[in-house]
Amino acid sequence: MVDICRLSESVKCTIINLDELITASEKHADLLVYCNNIVIVIEETRKMKSSDITQILETLNDIRRNKDRYGIKSDLLKFVGLVHFTRGADPISIKLLLTKTGRDFVLDKANCCEDLIRKIEKMKY
């Protein structure tokens, strides 16, 4: 997935396009943003669906198990998943997003590029 919000220009963090790192046969989110001790996984989509949440959770779990694969050196990490959508959200996906947020992960949504950048910047501190 292309960095449609141009995060690489807006956010002073390491940004990894997961399509370049993970094989196409593996389900995964689109982007990984690594700032300080925070790992943010982003799924870019037009309409948020439950499958988007599942992809984020699978990617976050893989990152926790295989930090070296993603170039993450720190052990004290906060894990966040963000769904960036542009055309709305399925009501079931909103409920799933809320129920899957817990002590292991924080899940959230952003409905425009400005909202996505604002949330990433807020999480950095």
Rg (CA), the chain: 13
pTM (2 d.p.): 0.88
pLDDT class for 82, splitting at 50, 70, 90?
Answer: very high
Name the residue ranges covered by the structural domains of the chain.
7-123
DSSP state for residue 65 in the 8-state scheme:
H
Architecture of domain 7-123 in this structure: 3-Layer(aba) Sandwich (3.40)
Tens digits of residue pLDDT in 95-112: 888 888 776 788 999 999
Residue 18 has which token pair?
Answer: 């997961």
